[in-house]
Amino acid sequence: MYLEAQRNNVLEHRFTFSELPGSFGQVRIFFISDLHRRLVAKEIVEQAKGRADLVVIGGDLREQGVPLERVAENLKRLREIGPLYFVWGNNDYEDDYHELDALLLDHKVTILANTRALFESGAGDKLLLMGVDDIGVGRDRLDLALEDCEEEGFRILVSHSPEIMHQLSGTERISLVLSGHTHGGQIRLLPSRRHMKGGVYTYGNTKLLLSNGYGTTLVPLRFRARPQTHVVILETKHSR
């Protein structure tokens, strides 16, 4: 179980969306969540370099007792893959989160706290990367993130917790959601609705990519819930 928790897995996912403008070609995202106490292996960085345009950190970058120096080293390693975008997770608030906030800004990490980042293709088409603050501590405001999306465009939502899916009515025009938090159960003895296993789920017209996460919490052990990081490749249905 200890060895299982130390594995380095980079999974590749390809999604095609008719609503993704063809002018973007491929959109490539490296997604990692729930690092907790773990240091990102250089093996992960080498596998992901050159395969992603940007890096999304899906929360729980640290937990109580994790020194900021280790967080800084993780940010330095992940930046080798691409520019960094971050949403808050519940464990990120366990120590002084103002210190973490300052560190993220020092490392030029874009924090998506009920806001969006805008990307524009050469043809003027737009992609909106939205992020909500953590649901578990009651700081999520999906309404504010949606209000920040003044432009029309392809929409991706990042939420540490997949519970955000219960807030979507289907009218938000969000094509893809990236989440973590559940660790896939971490030590998965029986099926659990509360701790969903990592995978791809469909909710109406929205795809959810749920990650088992990279690190562990409470105990450095995993069983039937391998650690995961992800290269997510988005294409239009008309790009091939």
pLDDT bracket for residue 126 (50, 70, 90):
very high
Fold classified for 2-236: Purple Acid Phosphatase; chain A, domain 2 (3.60.21)
Q: Which of 101-110, 151-160, 185-194, 200-209 is the least confident region?
A: 185-194
pLDDT bracket for residue 168 (50, 70, 90):
very high
Calculate mean pLDDT across residues 71-89: 98
Per-residue pLDDT at 239:
44
- Please tell me the pTM assigned to this model: 0.96
Contact criterion met (CB below 8 Å) for 43 and 8: yes
Calculate mean pLDDT across residues 156-162: 98
pLDDT at 140 over 60: yes
Structure tokens of 21? Answer: 């403008």
Per-residue pLDDT at 119:
97
**pLDDT tens digits, 23-49:** 999 999 999 999 999 999 999 999 999
Q: List, edge to edge, every strand of the sheet that includes 206-210.
A: 115-120, 126-131, 154-158, 176-179, 206-210, 199-203
Task: State the Cα–Cα distance between residues 127 and 21, nearest whole angstrom.
Answer: 9
CB within 8 A of 6, min separation 6: which ones?
227
